Amino acid sequence: MTPAVAPEDEPQGLADRVAAAALSVPGVHDLHGGVLGEVATYLPGRRVAGVRLLDGVTQVHLVLEWDAPMSATIDEVRSRVAAIVPGVVHLAVEDVAGPAAVAGD
């Protein structure tokens, strides 16, 4: 008999929790689905773009804020995601959001 899996540990709950953890880090602007939108966890009726759950590996693709300290931001994302998922966490910075428009330009 297979043990029951808690809802938060199923791919749907886990992908959403990983996305929320990454987005909660200051300096993270958004998640990025890859060049062709291929980086995602596909769920019934929707997908979680920017998060790919594989056996023992979690991939998170990020868009950082213009002024975010890259190394510190990545370290914090990795730490928060690693607390949720088993195995290795791979991060990719796919883009950087441009600086906010200056009023009057």
Could you state, in order of their start, the residue ranges of all structural domains in the chain? 7-24+41-96
pLDDT band at 9 (very low <50, low <70, confident <90, very high): low
Mean pLDDT of the chain: 87
pLDDT at 28: 97
pLDDT at 11: 60
Residue 3: pLDDT over 80? no
Residue 39 has pLDDT above 60, yes or no: yes
At 94, list the tokens.
């796919």
How many residues are listed for the chain in this entry? 105
Question: Could you say which of 1.25.40, 3.30.1490, 3.90.79, 3.30.70 is the CATH number of the domain covering 7-24+41-96?
Answer: 3.30.70
HSE toward the beta carbon, residue 91, CA cutoff 13 A: 24
Q: What distances in angstroms separate CA 7 from CA 4, 39, 103, one per listed residue?
A: 9, 23, 46
Which of 61, 82, 66 lies closest to 27, judged by CA?
66
